Chains A and B, each alone.
Chain A
Amino acid sequence: MKKIKLKDFKKALSKWGEVYIRTRDGFLKEGRLSSKKSKKSPKEFLLPREEVLLAIHKKGADTEVLEAHPSKKKVVMGALPCDMKGLELTTKNFLNSPEDPYYKKRVENTLFVSEMCQYPSSSCFCTSFDYGPSSKMGDITYFRLNDDNVLCEPISEKGKKALLWEQYPDAGEKDLEIMEKMLRETAKRLQKLNISYDFSRAREVYASSELKDAVFSCLNCGACTYVCPTCYCFDIRDIERKDFVLRERVWDSCMFFVYSLEASGHNPRKNRSKRAENRFMHKFFYQPLQYKEFGCTGCGRCVDVCPAGYDIRETIRSIQSFMEGKNG
């Protein structure tokens, strides 16, 4: 690992692209690098809240369709392991066949510089999954040694090429010791949930009253889907301008009634609880069945923002005991 002054690190990264740092609210161009996780995850760098896919130019009865090509280079600095894990999961959705060209372009144009986490909050439970606060993720990873210095190293080829690594001094043994110690302490402060689900029982769990009871307090406001690093549902809508139409992709939420409302008036998830149940099932049964990995990173943001005090960890526990109870 290399030891670099935070100021110099940021400056060097800005040569690759525009640097966005983790602040309390989100990843912004201006602001102070926060110590805790941000309110919003950095998923919008790959899946913006609003994104033009196509421009449809009207020429009388005829039309011409032009594609958008996102090209701005950006550096996401200070993404925590949970943020990176979230992006890994959304990437599975967007880059499995057929590849999403817009998402792919944004992956190519973004450099992810992750920070090993030292300040987990009470809502965090990342170690319940197969990674943790000291996981080295993204293109470059760093550890904040103190306010002025970071210990960092490249991970991907992109990360190796992004900086002139040989110009920086190697981290001293003492610094590395401090890092190891701090990361060990952090891991201890995190709560680890026991999640051993039998995914083949998805049908049974979805129909169970245990799940219905567990999500009862959900108001369907959608705040959790907004801050969740793995929620990627989107809508495609047409915006009319004078001579052309923009076909945009916008964030959507499975919590909303209209999300699954059909033109006939039928809605497979017309009940409040059905929508909340589907969200839980998607993260804890359907994604594991699809990608052999949970669709939750344990970042705890949904717990932080829920106005009704719904805590997904309670649902995880209820379903765990449902599984165990039924197993004998």
Chain B
Amino acid sequence: MAEYINPYYPQKSKILNTYFESQDRSLKTFDIKPIESKVPEFIPGQFCEVSIGGYGESPFGIATSPTEKDFLRFTVNKAGFLTSKLHELSKGSYVGIRGPLGNGYPLDRFKGNNIVIVGGGFAFTTLRSLLVFMLHNRNDFKDITVLYGARTPDLFLYKDELKEWEKRDDVDLVLTIDKPYEGWNKKVGLVPPVLEEMSPSPVESYAVVCGPPIMIKFTLPVLFKLGFKPDRIYTSLEKRMKCGIGKCGRCNVGHKYICKDGPVFSFEELNKLPEDL
């Protein structure tokens, strides 16, 4: 008989560490470890439901890579009821975790190809997971190009790691901000034109695009112009979720549930679904 698993049961987990990512304190990162079980196996791009008794649950992309086995990392934008409460918590507090949930990035398909990562704002969480995973298994992938844009220099996530990745010669990392900013001597410009300027080759390449809908909307035509086909462009979607296991109904796009069939979809798949995002 299969082991009885209640998919609604949150694993008791401890917050090992917290850091503010931005000076405006809107973005806080939590390193969390389940205390009654091991850190679960997962794929970059998957997410967990993080809960606090009395405040409900919310889905957050896992920012750690499967190669980092000590804890799960989530970066949370303070926006609603649960996220505001989460921001109040510090090291040593307990939360509940359900997951990993969702499908994750198609790593088998990515292997042996050039990977172009295009990220915007605080959507960089699962992209970090993917990037760290690829850098750990560097020989499985060809060229890795990362374009990461934020409104201001303060709003980049994982700034220390970005500095380190910039120094590496096995990954091409470009950071850009929307408008000129005092002390910023790197790229200035929105993600789509900067990407066009970089013009990564579509040959044997996959692009992964995550960011605010407006960024995705204007980045796609650039990728198509560069020669990327819809089946070679992936994105990770978000919608309001509750159950995280494809039962409660609300996160559907056509007949697909973002929580269960996604959150990662190719644009070839999305082109077949009703526009409902």
Contact = CB atoms under 8 A, between A and B. Distances in A.
Contact of B92 (A61, A238, A269, A285): A61
B71 to A, nearest CB: 19
B8 to A, nearest CB: 5
A286 B252 CA distance: 9
Interface in B1-47: 4-10, 12
Interface string B185-210: 00000000000000000000000000
A237 B56 contact: yes
Nearest to A261: B240
Interface residues of A, number: 54
B265 to A, nearest CB: 14
A34 interface: no
A18 to B, nearest CB: 26
B101 to A, nearest CB: 10
Contact of B274 (A206, A233, A235, A252): A206
B273 A203 contact: yes
Interface string B65-102: 00000000000000110010000000011101000000
B255 A287 contact: yes
B272 interface: yes
A260 B258 CA distance: 13
B171 to A, nearest CB: 30
Given A67-B6, A98-B5, A236-B242, A203 B249 contact: no
B254 interface: yes
A263 B79 contact: yes
Contact of B275 (A62, A93, A203, A236): A203
B100 to A, nearest CB: 13
B243 interface: yes
B56 A93 contact: no
B239 interface: yes
Given A63-B53, A268-B276, A93 B12 contact: no
A244 B239 CA distance: 29
A146 interface: no
Interface string A179-212: 0000000000000000000001011011100000
Interface in A233-262: 233-238, 240, 244-245, 247, 252, 254, 259-262
Contacts of A56: 53-54, 96
Interface string A134-178: 000000000000000000000000000000000000000000000
A269 B253 CA distance: 11
A254 B93 CA distance: 35
A240 B273 CA distance: 39
Given A234-B248, A236-B242, A263 B83 contact: yes
A244 B83 CA distance: 21
Contacts of A102: 8
B219 to A, nearest CB: 18
A264 interface: yes
Interface in A70-105: 93-94, 96, 98-102
A13 interface: no
A53 B239 contact: no
Contacts of B247: 93-94, 100, 232, 234
A205 to B, nearest CB: 8
A302 to B, nearest CB: 17
A308 interface: no
B240 A238 contact: no
Given A207-B274, A254-B250, A61 B94 contact: yes
A99 B6 CA distance: 8
Contact of A62 (B94, B96, B249): B94
A244 B273 CA distance: 42
B184 to A, nearest CB: 26
7 contacts: A63-B12, A202-B274, A203-B272, A206-B276, A236-B8, A263-B80, A281-B274
Closest 3 CB pairs of A and B: A263-B80, A206-B274, A233-B249
Interface of B: 4-10, 12, 53-58, 79-80, 83, 92-94, 96, 213, 238-240, 242-243, 245-250, 252, 254-255, 272-277
Given A206-B254, A252-B249, 5 more contacts: A65-B96, A206-B276, A236-B248, A238-B56, A244-B53
